[in-house]
Structure 1
Amino acid sequence: MSDSLRALPGFYKLLFLYLEPISAILPAPMIWLWPGAAWFHYEQIPTSSNSSSPAPLDPRTLLALSQLGNCYMLVGLMVSLVFRVARDAFPGNPIAQERIIGGTLTALAIADVFHVLSTFIGLPSDIRFSPMSWNGITHGNITLTTFLFCVRMAWFLGIGRHRYYYGPEASRTSGRKIR
């Protein structure tokens, strides 16, 4: 059963089935519980001030951040659960697995591009091109998301894996099971 997710082997499996869901879900409790919505809000744009007690947030901002936490949770759960369902529902059908995983990775890649661009454009010009001045949240939004996008593209290119559906016509078997 170790190869029951043939469309997502090795490093891809580790990253997309375990590490990415954790990194996507983690901001939700950081917003909801600790260090809290105000901390998360003020960390979005790095500053040199180390205020131990950020200004209170208005109710609209708190609501938006709570909903953002829900979106983070949703992305993490969707990635984790969709890939596990593809594995469990189609253990002997890597073509079906690859189509489901590929559709999910396509949506995530599109979201990655817009997430990185909106974060980058939203940064003040004095720190936009100065990654050394970015904090962990900014690196997560830009550096980590760019890395995930590159790994998604590598998956589509077939780097480090066998392609069953996405790839040259010769590798397709018109939906039949591969044993």
Structure 2
Amino acid sequence: MSDFLVLPGVYKALFLYIEPASTILPAILIWFAPGAAWFHHELIPAPPQEQVSSLDGRTRMAIWQLGNCCYLLLGMLSSLVFRAIRDALPNNPIAQERILGASLLAMAIADATHIVASFIGLPESLKYRPGLWNPTTHGNISFVIILLLFRIAWFSGIGRTRYYFGQQRSRVQVKRI
């Protein structure tokens, strides 16, 4: 029997392993190689022959902070906090679901605003032409849409037993720690 009942199967694979790895990787790419200038250039797809220029200090700092806060922090939170929920509350799926649900709700809101901001930021010539998007654009829009859909599916109870969300409040007894 799983000790993380609220995060079974594909949800466990996605939220505990794939998402943290996919969010920590850009931070590493920004900090080390190919670097902040490369990432800045990749935010909006451009022809491959266009040179990656160096960045002024303020822009480099902003990209490093984005990599640290958005990518590294998000990856560590989903990896470390979700494991802490599992380990601290192995026999309390109601508490697991309430805490995990709060995290997933915050992430879903961030997903939605990230998708909108990324899409709005694209030039009109690229918005409706995903075939012209680069991997970074697909990561910021396509992959985040998939994550958001899986968060919605989790809240909807698709492919899992619900212990708190979607339950009548009178039937849900929360164990106090």
Q: TM-score, normalised by structure 2?
A: 0.95
Q: Which amino acid aligns with 1:60?
A: R
| 2:101 is the alignment partner of 1:105 | no
Q: 1:77 to 1:99 in 2, by over 3 A?
A: same
| Unaligned stretches of 5+ residues in structure 1 | none
| 2:54 is the alignment partner of 1:56 | yes
In the TM superposition, structure 1's runs of 4+ consecutive aligned residues that sit over 4 Å from their partners are none
| Unaligned stretches of 5+ residues in structure 2 | none
**CA–CA distance in 1 between the matches of 2:135 and 2:54?**
22
* CA-to-aligned-CA distance 1:61-113 (integer Å, 9 cap, x gap): 00001101111100000111111011011000000000011000000000000
**CA–CA distance in 1 between the matches of 2:57 and 2:136?**
22
**CA–CA distance in 2 between the matches of 1:172 and 1:119?**
42
Query: Is 1:43–1:137's contact at 8 Å kept on the other side of the alignment?
Result: yes
**CA–CA distance in 1 between the matches of 2:161 and 2:74?**
26
SS class of match (1:169): coil
Query: Is 1:163–1:171's contact at 8 Å kept on the other side of the alignment?
Result: no
Q: TM-score, normalised by structure 1?
A: 0.94
Partner of 1:66: 64
Partner of 2:173: 174
**Sequence identity (%):** 54
Shift of 1:50: 2.1
Shift of 1:173: 2.7
Query: Is 1:164–1:171's contact at 8 Å kept on the other side of the alignment?
Result: no
**CA–CA distance in 1 between the matches of 2:65 and 2:169?**
45
Shift of 1:172: 4.0
Root-mean-square deviation over aligned CA pairs = 1.5
**CA–CA distance in 2 between the matches of 1:86 and 1:159?**
21
* CA-to-aligned-CA distance 1:34-70 (integer Å, 9 cap, x gap): 111111000000012423x411100000000110111
Partner of 1:143: 142
**CA–CA distance in 2 between the matches of 1:172 and 1:151?**
26
Q: Which amino acid aligns with 1:21?
A: P
Number of paired residues? 175
**CA–CA distance in 1 between the matches of 2:162 and 2:170?**
7
Partner of 2:163: 164
Q: In the TM superposition, what are the counterparts of 1:79-98 in structure 2 within 5 Å?
A: 79-98=78-97
Query: Is 1:155–1:161's contact at 8 Å kept on the other side of the alignment?
Result: yes
After the TM superposition, which of the residue ranges 168-177 and 19-28 deviates more from structure 2?
168-177
**CA–CA distance in 2 between the matches of 1:162 and 1:29?**
36
